[in-house]
Structure 1
Amino acid sequence: MRTKILIITMITSTLFVSNVSIAELGKMDKAEAQATTKFDHIGLAEMYEKEANEMTAKAKVQKELLEEYQRHSEYYGREGQDFQSHHDALLREYTKAAERNAEMAASHRKMAK
């Protein structure tokens, strides 16, 4: 019985989190479609710069975790390779996201001029 409740709770929370991120994406698309003035584009550029900075900070954390793993890989045992590949993938994704957000910010800065 507890297992069923746990599984239902996990599925529900996963769906809730994914819907929130989809809603945020919809807001971004709507904001970009409605951006007509210089100030709209400046606001979007600032928002993308903020997001790029957050992604850069997250990438930095992942890089520090990977460096720690490299220094003390013997502490991680069999799960060490999973740890390394997981955090390496996160580092790549955060780095790409930071680059994309920086490009979008530059694009909106250019549109504002």
Structure 2
Amino acid sequence: MKTKIFFTSLVILIFLAFITPVHAESQNPVDTKVKTIASPDHNKLAEYYENEAKEMSLKVEEQKKLLHEYDIHSYYYGREGQDFQAHHEALLDKYEKAAERNSEMAAAHRKMAKKR
């Protein structure tokens, strides 16, 4: 009985797969024309990356404050203190690299904007 239901449902699924409508090509005359690719606005991209770099710099400062607090009062943290320190040092490194990379991207986009 189960095999009969299985094969019946399989045949139905195959049938449905073959009768799905094929999308016709667009009849819109605008679509037939060659589309021009808009050039990216490098100034806006540079601003975006600069803002991201500023955000990452703020996060770097926050992590530095947390690590400084840990250095002063490491006895507050007990056994988990070393995990806390390692975690925030890793975050600090990650945020510093992100800020640097975003600054590089902003500079690259400023350079591209000047070329145009």
| TM tier, smaller | 0.5 to 0.7
Whether the aligned pair in 2 keeps the contact of 1:49 and 1:101 (CA below 8 Å) is: yes
Q: How far apart are residue 36 of structure 1 and its match?
A: 2.0
**What are structure 1's unaligned runs of at least 5 residues?**
1-33
Whether the aligned pair in 2 keeps the contact of 1:56 and 1:98 (CA below 8 Å) is: yes
Q: Distance in 2 between matches of 1:58 and 1:99?
A: 13
- How many correspondences in the alignment? 78
Q: Structure 1 residues 110, 72: CA separation in 2 closer, same or farther (over 3 Å shift)? A: same
Q: Distance in 1 between matches of 2:42 and 2:91?
A: 30
Q: Secondary structure at the match of 1:36?
A: coil
Q: Percent identity?
A: 68
* CA-based RMSD: 1.3
Name the structure with the higher helix share: 1
**What are structure 2's unaligned runs of at least 5 residues?**
1-36
Q: Secondary structure at the match of 2:39?
A: coil
Residue of structure 2 in register with 1:36 after alignment: 39
Q: Structure 1 residues 49, 77: CA separation in 2 closer, same or farther (over 3 Å shift)? A: same
Which structure has the bigger radius of gyration?
A: 2
